[in-house]
Structure 1
Amino acid sequence: MQLTITELKPSAIPSDEDVMAAADELLESTSSWKKGKTYHKQVETYSRAKAPEDGAPWHCRVSVHKSEEATFDKLWSKLGKDKAINEKEFIPDIDKVTKVKEISATQNIWTLHYKFAPPISPRVFTVVQITRLNEVSPRRGTIVSIPVDLTEDPELVKLEERGVKGRYVSVERILELEDGSIEWRMATSSTPGGSIPTYFVERSMNGKIAEVREFCMIGRR
């Protein structure tokens, strides 16, 4: 399968194996993407131009965290378990999240409502989040978010937040390194929907994804 911002129907969500194979392939390719700025002396950013099969360009952030800053268990508890709820606590623009459906222990559909200052209208992103945890050393955890179109199920539509529909796809991986540090790597592609110019979104994307390092500070609060 190909990871893109194209929405999937709930009935067409692939198996964990297919999703994770695509996720691994994407993350491995990020090392060859164009290098961007480094933020906060710690977060490196990369990007890849929109390819024919993509709906939007891709962006990547990579950071390495020592154990006193973030442990594997602490990061996985925030990224691998109820990630949408935890994001709401650290991303001010998210004002509401709802679990639409629990498909399995590793697949859950969430809808996230973003509220912005006028004149930007609220945005809604509905995704299926798929997780994989490998506890064999070196441990690694992967979280994939894929946009979902709920219209085939009227009951699920009732649970979806209201606003301009945006779409994003993302792959995140936390990986234990030999020295005990944790690498956090995330690649994402998105569109906010509506009339926001693409160039405006793209020029600020690297800075936005660099800010989510706040997850790593949870253990120190």
Structure 2
Amino acid sequence: MPDPVTLRYLTLHPTDVAAVPDLDDADFDRQLADEAARLFDHEGWTERKSWHGGIVDTFILPHECVTYDPALSSGQSGPSPTGKAGEEGILWHKRVSQFKASEHGGYDVWYDAMGDRHIEQEEEYVDNLVNVIDVGKDAGKEGCYCKLYKLPFGATDRSFMAHCRVVTPSSLSTEESNEQGDKSASSKKPEGESASESSDGLREFLVFSLPITTSTDVKEEKKYVRGTQATVERVRELEGGTIEWSCASLSTPGGNIPVKLSESKMANSLADAVPSVLAWMNRAHPPGASHIKSGTYTADTPANAQKPARLRQTQDAANPGGGMGLMPAGRFTLEMFQKEVPLRDY
């Protein structure tokens, strides 16, 4: 059995919203990124299962492989993620999926979909997420929300208080080098390189959802039972044009649901999230969307098959090419018809 990983931030001990680190706290982000890496890469993950035709693999991390030492609250250290005796059976669950960038989009497309405006876009692809309330506004804290979920008939609706933040580990390394005053040429970021690009050229970002609590009641939460959840998602580039999307989650639904019952459904729940997100991405962020934004969209980019280019009319003339006033976007440019052509004498 490998040595247990000690988790200080990825626990089920809620942090008071007033004590939540600010979004520009780079040191906190570095500690989060390091803890997530140790969790994802731990050798103790077991009980591998494949779902949806092999699109998703799920794993469980036995409780012997984790110990908790909460850093942001006065919770009790030990093997229980909540600090309560008898809740050692609340386990970490992980899912892993790998996709070809040519089929489901490259890193930039995934960041636009999962990293940028994460909460706003989450409301688009999580069907039972019915409301998100900003609970950090009064305390001057960004990224703190109460999320309300509608459950099937017969089950009480659930709410979760979450502190959400997006972290790009390699950009933190760059900031740390700058803080140490390393101004050598080798430490400078090459021109045009992404801030989230690592030394081997492969990029990744992490999305954290950490449990919080507030001293005041949220009126919209009145008829909901509050659960507690800690989740981290990792999207990273691999060699060969592959994108890996992983999610590790630890949660308790609250109420009177037995731990064994909720744990038995975790793997299935994690796996079922993947197809719906892919379907949403295909609509909202087609694989070639980054080409459109960068101005390099052409008829043979992957997005063309997913979302055919609209016809457009040139601004300077309705008919610059002799009957070719309407042209597929990106295939021809106006400049092609404005070049001077030398005349020959006959």
Q: If the length of structure 2 is used for normalisation, what is the TM-score?
A: 0.57
Measure how far apart 1:160 and its partner are. 6.1
Measure how far apart 1:78 and its partner are. 2.5
Secondary structure, counterpart of 1:142 in structure 2: strand
Report the number of matched residues.
214
Q: Which residue, 7, 23, 37 being the options, matches 2:49?
A: 37
Matches of 1:172 and 1:144, distance apart in 2 = 7
Measure how far apart 1:77 and its partner are. 1.9
| 1:188 is aligned to 2:252 | no
Measure how far apart 1:45 and its partner are. 0.5
The letter for the 2-side match of 1:4 is: T
Secondary structure, counterpart of 1:210 in structure 2: helix
Deviation track 1:145-171 (CA, whole Å, cap 9, x = no partner) reads 1100111xx4xx447633111010011
Aligned-residue RMSD, C-alpha: 2.1
The aligned residue for residue 145 of structure 1 is 209
Measure how far apart 1:187 and its partner are. 0.4
Deviation track 1:7-46 (CA, whole Å, cap 9, x = no partner) reads 11123335222222222221221x5311321011110100
CA change 1:149–1:71 in 2 (3 A) is: same
- Greater strand proportion: 1
The residue correspondences of 1:26-175 to structure 2 (distance < 5 A) are 26-29=39-42, 31-40=43-52, 41-50=54-63, 51=66, 52-55=79-82, 56-67=90-101, 68-101=103-136, 108-133=143-168, 134=170, 135-136=196-197, 137-151=201-215, 154=216, 157-158=217-218, 161-162=221-222, 163-175=224-236
Deviation track 1:79-120 (CA, whole Å, cap 9, x = no partner) reads 21232332222222211122333667xx51121101112321
The aligned residue for residue 4 of structure 1 is 11
Query: Which structure has the bigger radius of gyration?
Result: 2
Measure how far apart 1:3 and its partner are. 1.4
CA change 1:215–1:118 in 2 (3 A) is: closer
Deviation track 1:40-75 (CA, whole Å, cap 9, x = no partner) reads 111010001335142321100000011112322222
Structure 1: any 5+ residue segments left out of the alignment? none
Matches of 1:159 and 1:101, distance apart in 2 = 15
Matches of 1:84 and 1:43, distance apart in 2 = 23
CA change 1:160–1:19 in 2 (3 A) is: farther
Q: If the length of structure 1 is used for normalisation, what is the TM-score?
A: 0.87
- Comparing 68-77 with 123-132, which one deviates more in the overlay? 68-77
| 1:207 is aligned to 2:271 | no
Measure how far apart 1:140 and its partner are. 0.4
Q: Which residue, 282, 288, 295 being the options, matches 1:220?
A: 282
Q: Which has the higher contact order (CA 8 A, sep 6+)?
A: 1
CA change 1:75–1:98 in 2 (3 A) is: farther
Contact 1:84 1:112 (C-alpha < 8 Å) held by counterparts: no
Secondary structure, counterpart of 2:241 in structure 1: coil
Secondary structure, counterpart of 1:101 in structure 2: coil
Secondary structure, counterpart of 1:35 in structure 2: strand
Percent identity between the two aligned chains: 28
Secondary structure, counterpart of 1:148 in structure 2: strand
Matches of 2:221 and 2:114, distance apart in 1 = 22
Measure how far apart 1:197 and its partner are. 2.1
Matches of 1:118 and 1:219, distance apart in 2 = 28
